[in-house]
A and B are shown apart, each in its own frame.
Chain A
Amino acid sequence: MVFRGGVSRLVLAAAFGMGLTGSAMAEDEIIIGGALSLTGVQAPLDEAGLKGAEVAVKALNDQGGLLGKKIKLINIDGKSDPVTVGNNAINVIDQGAELVIAPCDFDFGGPASREAQNANIVGISTCASDPLYSSWSLGDKQFTLSMWNTAMGATAAEYAFKERGWKSAYVVTDQFIAYTKSLSKYFTQHFKDLGGEVVLEDAYTQGAQDFSAQLARLQALPEKPDVIFISSYMPDLGTIIRAIREVGITTPIMGGDSYDDPSLFEALGERFGNEIYFVGHTWMGAEAHPDMGKFIELYKAQHGSEPDTSFVATGWDTVMLMAQAVKIAGSTDGAAVAKALEENEFDLLTGKLSYSNAELGHQPNKSAALIGISGGKPSFLGWRRAESQPAP
């Protein structure tokens, strides 16, 4: 009897367990669900976003909530695994979530947005920047808070070519995810359009932890490039930059928002952390936005320390963007909130943001923050907006 008896008892136990965990939906609260990853490769970006989102939820609730209801944030660790992220999104929607915060990347965050779309609710990624994060591929109620890589790559290319006069570039692309691939694609395309020359395009794959083959090719170049563009992700990004700097190459290095990670600054330190520039979402100081000081204070009060990356602002902004859109729409209905997002301009810590309509992919129209690393410390170089950008 082990077989059937055991199984049916297990079925009962499981059914009972599910009954207990499925929470009762309260009428007087609006649930924002999240599947942000607190472990794995995505954690440095998502955990910061979640912390910022928590501050925003508390701030909104302290001001009386949204539409007269309290906001509740439920996040289940997506573990940097797209399948788990999708499962967790279903789980939080099941628990009554009316808005979904998706992880900060197309590969990892896409599944959450797809499930939000299936449930007819709005999903916003905190900072996915691949143009695939669009209404074309995810659905007409899905958005990303970030600028697209078309803008990020173009901004980097214009800074390099126009502001600094760097005419030749060496480009390294991590084959890891859509973000890393498309960022260097748009940088390369725009850099060439401007008249620059890409002397070598090289590939790397996250996890290899060995940059020696690429380094040999870089050193063998007959003419040294003016700038090195590396589109990769932490932790390997730190390894790559160190490998380049360790052999005495001091050529400026550029990249995208994945550089905005305190562990990168630490990995490079004073010795290797020089002449590095990247295009990010914002800067954690009053130079970037007048309200930044207020946010940092609230953040300190809630988490006990200063924010160490600007990704915390993407979490705050995502919740605030949702709240403003819900207020305009007057409800959390997916179609109404999506319409509010499409038709308005929002003033956020990561810059002013408006979206194109669903036919045009919900392309975000947004400024980019340019940040430099010198002596292992980041500093804000100001807001930039690319004059033109490649088509996605």
Chain B
Amino acid sequence: MNNSKLITFVAIVIPVLAVMLAARFLGFPVFERIATLLFINMILVLGLQAFMGNSGILSFAHIAFMGIGAYTSSLFTIPLQMRGMVLPDLYPVLKPILLSPYAAIAVGAVAAMLVAALVAYPLMRLSDAAAVITSFALLVVMHTIMVNWSEVTNGPRTLFGVPKATTIYLAAGGAILAALVALYFKESRTGLLLRAVRDDEIAAGAMGANLSLLRWKGFVLSALFAGFAGGLWAHFITSYQPSAFYLKETFVILGMLVIGGAGTVSGAVLGTFVVTFAFEALRATENALNSSSVFPWQLVGLTEIVLALAMIAVLVLRPGGLIEAEEFGATWRKWRRRG
């Protein structure tokens, strides 16, 4: 790991640890919850960055893999005596298998990766608008499967009884690991080639870059992140339904990445922090305004509207996001040299 990359990594680790410790020791359980969800979102955003940032292809399917990770891991951790009540139609083969939550989260991540490996290969031959639209179609297909495969997901209804296993430490550790992998992947041979394809598909292809294979690798890695985050999320939230893995979450994660800057790992992390804090501040404002009844009506949807406006503003003013092209470490070194 070179110097600049190390600085970037440290710059990501410091705020993660700071938020983790602050959340842990300030004594507000709500804050700890927000911080844990922030770390899980960070893993999702980093996963999306690994594919989208390097390949330049917008992917809507990311959250579907989070769903696969969540459902797969939960299947193995719901206590046996509760399983009949939660999933009355579960396949008999799966009924007696009980794993520790950590093993189950790993299984969920691998399952998401395998599904991605299977479905993505043909899709990765597509570019531009066609690739974006097929990824959206993939999200819809996966969502429909989750809604209707009652045997393992309990249909559109709540899946409950998932034991709580994700702590703030585990989530923070996962986020740091994800940042490390994303940074490494970006500078790896595959990452560099993928970015070459992004910048000039024809030129890179002429030099012998196998573009569909490169994109496939990026996509599979990104699904691994998403599946891992899904498992962590499921074992944090403990009861959820397929609608949790659909458009709303997709746009939150995309918003974080686009605002922060899809091209860089630093941008992905910054976007996650900025959007989370803005979201929570707006939600607190919304609740405070509503409970103090400043307005004669109830304020609804302030958070969503402001996030959408922020996304538009960022796209107009800085189309590449807050940190567009250069990782924080490189900027820091230039700045040091100048100063």
List A residues at the B interface (Cβ < 8 Å). Answer: 1-4, 6-8, 10-11, 13-15, 17-18, 21-22, 38-39, 74, 76-77, 81-83, 86-87, 90-91, 94, 106-107, 110-111, 114, 132, 136-137, 175-178, 181, 205-206
Contacts and interface: CB of A to CB of B under 8 A. Distances in A.
Contacts of B331: 3
B189 interface: no
Interface residues of B, number: 48
A8 B240 contact: no
B28 to A, nearest CB: 5
Given A8-B15, A94-B28, A94-B29, A3 B323 contact: yes
Given A17-B281, A21-B287, A82-B241, 6 more contacts: A3-B270, A7-B270, A86-B237, A90-B29, A107-B158, A175-B155
A15 B160 CA distance: 32
B277 A14 contact: yes
Given A21-B284, A90-B30, A114 B15 contact: no
Given A107-B157, A110-B160, A10 B244 contact: no
B82 interface: yes
Interface string B6-35: 000001001100110010001011110100
Contacts of B86: 137
B87 to A, nearest CB: 12
B273 A7 contact: yes
Contact of A176 (B30, B156, B291, B322): B156
Nearest to B328: A3
A15 B26 contact: yes
A86 B236 CA distance: 11
A7 B19 CA distance: 10
A107 B86 CA distance: 12
The interface centre, meaning the residue of A7, A76, A176 with most chain B CB atoms within 10 A of its CB, is A7
B15 A76 contact: no
Interface of B: 11, 14-15, 18-19, 22, 26, 28-31, 33, 82, 85-86, 147, 155-158, 160-161, 237-241, 243-244, 266, 270, 273-274, 277, 280-281, 284, 287-288, 290-291, 298, 300, 322-323, 328, 331, 335
Contacts of B19: 11
A77 to B, nearest CB: 8
Given A82-B158, A86-B239, A178-B158, A7 B244 contact: no
Given A14-B280, A38-B298, A94-B28, A111 B239 contact: yes
B298 A17 contact: no
B33 A90 contact: yes
A205 B161 CA distance: 24
Contacts of A94: 28-30
B240 A83 contact: yes
A157 to B, nearest CB: 21
A10 B277 contact: yes
Nearest to A14: B277
Contacts of A11: 15, 18-19, 22, 277
Contact of A181 (B14, B29, B157): B157
A81 B240 CA distance: 9
B276 to A, nearest CB: 9
B302 to A, nearest CB: 12
B31 A137 contact: no
A8 B274 CA distance: 11
Nearest to A74: B291
A375 B181 CA distance: 66
Nearest to B278: A10
22 contacts: A2-B322, A3-B323, A4-B14, A8-B15, A11-B15, A11-B18, A11-B277, A14-B277, A15-B31, A17-B284, A21-B284, A39-B300, A74-B291, A77-B300, A87-B30, A110-B158, A110-B239, A114-B239, A132-B160, A181-B155, A181-B157, A206-B156
A177 B157 contact: yes
Nearest to A39: B300
Contact of A132 (B26, B85, B284): B85
Nearest to A134: B85
A327 to B, nearest CB: 28
B10 to A, nearest CB: 10
Contacts of B280: 14, 17
